[in-house]
């Protein structure tokens, strides 16, 4: 049996995927979380220990709590593909229903487990238990900072030098399943130079974080790199945002205004003894390079000098040292370029200066030494990078008229010779009769029609490219296919007799489809806006009625149980009407 290159590549890809899957599956973690961490001592809360492997879990001492129910175990699994890697996520949970048996600050110590001969432990959790007989004003218990909704500014460091890069993130932490930002205000930050990190096309991905046992959905609003421009204590003021929470099909939701923390940064001055050529450049791993296009040339021939400085630091503010060239060289305006990347790790890249020199006299000339000084954040010392002086040998020119023949183009990238621009006119011209004229032939008419044909083809190409390079338009075209895939997921959940999850998945799928297909923000999705959008696309009344009934049933399922038979009927109707909607709502 023989294999071609494609077969070998396919086999290698499968092997790589299996290896990636195996590597991912070997990571072990254990964590704990609670349903609430501020309760009255006659109330109860849910305490869960979660691992990603089926191992024996050692629960901590729960002497400060009454065990109302539990422990009871559960498990779930899911598979996803991220950047070509197969990720299988398995979850094993051990859950207790607890009630505090005394008031005060109570601590649940970490849970432990062993995996592959290594011991692991989870986070600890603090519970604030208030005596139900006492009012909040008489208790000495201070509530924790965790709430259902708050905003926070996070810094990579709070003690820094002037000009040092600081990574800043602005985040919202929420325990509400549905949240929409309706207004956001970033105040001015005085005393800082800012460079925002470019947001991905779909925005920063949502994540989950467990803070003192509570699980939060984390929305990243903004990431940026800042550099303080003066010493002393500087403040990043809080951000303020308005959000809608608990929004659904029948309810616009509740509007809330949240305000983040403010952050103080201590900016230290540079150590004494800075060299004279130090220009507040701060960073690490800086390198200085210089290139000369030639070291030997003739009078009036060009010499290109390229100076490059690279590293990690406040490169946006970097100034390449000025060089005093010999007066025998004509110095043209320099060209500056930069390749700078802004990321979570700071600002890195390089800056390049290109200089054109033309010697006007012959001889040996010394181009001066180049020095660049910066403050190194690793050693906390000044470092000076040097490149030695360079001897350039200029010989006499062979062409006496060459001095007037070199000019610099406007873009300052080339030297062009223009001394031979006048030529003799040819005097002995001969005329001959064209015995095969072009007029009236097929080639003549083809050439005559070619501009119109070219324009038509160009128009079709541009229109096709426009339609297939517009992410929003492509997404709207694929909305129906995505909805059908979500139906399959919902059907799998229903087959597992998880009716509540089925309706949540079906409801979310429909809202996502309607928002995408008809360009309606999720905050504006209601019975009236959906009906109007359908009517604009000439969708029949019976289809509009069925769609609204499905959405109403999904919403009602949150509050009242619905039989499995009705759930199957709803799914079947959803599958039947989507094709009809797609037939009318064409993009």
Q: Which residues pair with residue 406 across a beta bridge?
A: 417
Report whether pLDDT(412) > 50.
no
Report whether pLDDT(4) > 80.
no
Report whether pLDDT(306) > 90.
yes
According to the model, what pLDDT value does residue 434 have?
Answer: 60
Cα–Cα distance measured from residue 47 to residue 61, given in angstroms and rounded to the nearest whole number: 13
**Residue of higher predicted confidence among 431 and 286:** 286
How many other C-beta atoms lie within 10 A of the C-beta of residue 153?
A: 18
> Which range has the worst mean pLDDT, 264-278, 515-529, 562-576?
515-529
Task: Please compute the mean of the pLDDT values over residues 88-93 and round it to a whole number.
Answer: 78
pLDDT band, residue 381 (cuts 50/70/90): very high
According to the model, what pLDDT value does residue 408 have?
Answer: 39
According to the model, what pLDDT value does residue 303 have?
Answer: 92
In contact, 229 and 193? CB cutoff 8 Å: yes
According to the model, what pLDDT value does residue 358 have?
Answer: 92
Strands in 109-249 per DSSP E: 112-115, 118-121, 125-130, 149-155, 159-161, 166-174, 179-185, 192-196, 207-211, 214-228, 232-236, 240-245
Cα–Cα distance measured from residue 291 to residue 354, given in angstroms and rounded to the nearest whole number: 9
Helix spans in 3-48 (H) = 5-25
**Residue of higher predicted confidence among 107 and 409:** 107
According to the model, what pLDDT value does residue 117 have?
Answer: 85
Cα–Cα distance measured from residue 581 to residue 538, given in angstroms and rounded to the nearest whole number: 9
Task: Please compute the mean of the pLDDT values over residues 176-187 and round it to a whole number.
Answer: 79
Which tens digits make up the pLDDT trace of 71-81?
878 777 666 55
pLDDT band, residue 376 (cuts 50/70/90): very high
Domains of the chain: 5-130 (2.60.40), 149-268 (2.60.40), 282-408 (2.60.40), 473-584 (1.20.120)
According to the model, what pLDDT value does residue 523 have?
Answer: 61
Report whether pLDDT(19) > 70.
no
Q: What is the mean pLDDT of the chain?
A: 79
Strands in 83-122 per DSSP E: 85-100, 104-108, 112-115, 118-121
Report whether pLDDT(245) > 70.
yes
**Degrees to nearest 5, angle at CA 71 with 69 and 75:** 125
Helix spans in 108-203 (H) = none
The proportion of the chain whose per-residue pLDDT surpasses 70, expressed as a percent, equals 79
Task: Please compute the mean of the pLDDT values over residues 160-185 and round it to a whole number.
Answer: 86
Report whether pLDDT(287) > 50.
yes
User: For residue 375, which of 275, 504, 246, 487 has the smallest C-alpha distance?
Assistant: 275
pLDDT band, residue 370 (cuts 50/70/90): very high
Cα–Cα distance measured from residue 79 to residue 21, given in angstroms and rounded to the nearest whole number: 10
**DSSP line for 232-243:** EEEEEPPPEEEE
3-class SS at 46?
strand
**Degrees to nearest 5, angle at CA 161 with 155 and 162:** 100
Q: What is the pTM of this model?
A: 0.53
Report whether pLDDT(465) > 70.
no
User: For residue 281, which of 311, 308, 317, 307 has the smallest C-alpha distance?
Assistant: 317
Tell me the two tokens of residue 467: 């339609």
User: For residue 309, which of 342, 352, 277 has the smallest C-alpha distance?
Assistant: 352
């Amino acid at each position: 049996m023989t294999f071609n290159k494609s077969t070998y590549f396919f086999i290698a890809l499968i092997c790589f995927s299996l290896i990636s899957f195996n590597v991912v599956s070997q990571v072990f973690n254990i964590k704990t979380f609670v349903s609430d961490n501020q309760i009255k001592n006659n109330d109860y809360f849910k305490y869960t220990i979660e691992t990603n492997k089926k191992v024996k879990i050692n629960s901590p001492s729960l002497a400060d709590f009454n065990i109302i129910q539990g422990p009871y175990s559960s498990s779930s699994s899911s598979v996803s593909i991220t950047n070509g890697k197969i990720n299988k996520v398995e979850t094993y949970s051990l859950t207790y229903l607890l009630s505090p048996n005394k008031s005060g600050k109570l601590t649940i110590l970490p849970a432990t487990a062993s995996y592959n001969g290594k011991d692991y432990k989870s986070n600890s959790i603090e519970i604030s238990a208030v005596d139900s007989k006492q009012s909040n004003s008489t208790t000495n218990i201070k509530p924790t900072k965790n709430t259902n909704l708050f905003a926070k500014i996070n810094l990579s460091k709070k003690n820094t030098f002037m000009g040092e890069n600081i990574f800043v993130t602005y985040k919202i932490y929420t325990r509400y399943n549905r949240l929409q930002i309706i207004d956001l205000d970033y105040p001015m930050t005085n005393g800082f130079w800012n460079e925002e990190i470019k947001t991905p096309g779909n925005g920063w991905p949502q994540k989950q974080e467990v803070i003192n046992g509570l699980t939060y959905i984390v929305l990243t609003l903004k990431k940026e790199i800042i550099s303080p421009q003066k010493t002393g204590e500087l403040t990043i003021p809080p951000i303020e945002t308005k959000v809608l929470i608990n929004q659904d099909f029948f309810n616009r939701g509740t509007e809330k205004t949240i305000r983040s923390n403010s952050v103080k940064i201590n900016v230290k001055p540079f150590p004494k003894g800075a060299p004279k050529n130090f220009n507040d450049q701060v960073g690490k791993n800086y390198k200085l390079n210089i290139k000369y296009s030639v070291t030997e040339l003739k009078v009036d021939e060009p010499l290109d000098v390229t100076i490059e400085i690279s590293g990690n630091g406040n490169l946006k503010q970097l100034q390449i040292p000025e060089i005093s060239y010999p007066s025998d060289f004509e110095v043209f305006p320099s060209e500056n370029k930069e390749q700078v990347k802004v990321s979570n790790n700071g600002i890195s890249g390089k800056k390049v200066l290109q200089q054109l020199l033309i010697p006007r006299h012959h001889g040996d000339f010394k181009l001066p030494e180049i020095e660049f000084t910066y403050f190194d954040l690793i050693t906390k010392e000044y470092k000076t990078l040097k490149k030695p002086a360079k001897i350039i040998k200029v010989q006499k020119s062979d062409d006496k008229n060459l001095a007037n023949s070199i000019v610099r183009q406007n873009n300052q990238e080339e030297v062009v010779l223009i001394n031979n621009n006048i030529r003799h006119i040819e005097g002995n011209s001969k005329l001959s009769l064209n015995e095969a004229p072009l007029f009236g032939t097929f080639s003549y008419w083809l050439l005559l029609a070619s501009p119109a044909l070219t324009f038509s083809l160009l128009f079709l190409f541009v229109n096709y490219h426009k339609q297939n390079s517009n992410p929003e338009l492509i997404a709207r075209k694929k909305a129906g296919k995505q909805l059908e895939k979500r139906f399959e997921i919902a059907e799998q959940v229903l087959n597992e007799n998880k009716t509540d999850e089925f309706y949540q998945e079906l409801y979310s799928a429909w809202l996502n489809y309607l928002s995408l297909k008809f360009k309606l923000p999720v905050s504006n999705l209601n019975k009236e806006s959906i009906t109007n959008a359908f009517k604009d696309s000439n969708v029949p009344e019976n289809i509009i009625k069925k769609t609204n009934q499905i959405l109403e049933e999904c919403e009602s399922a949150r509050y009242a149980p619905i039989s499995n038979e009705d759930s199957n009927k709803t799914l079947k109707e959803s599958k039947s009407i989507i094709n009809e909607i797609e037939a009318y709502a064409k993009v």
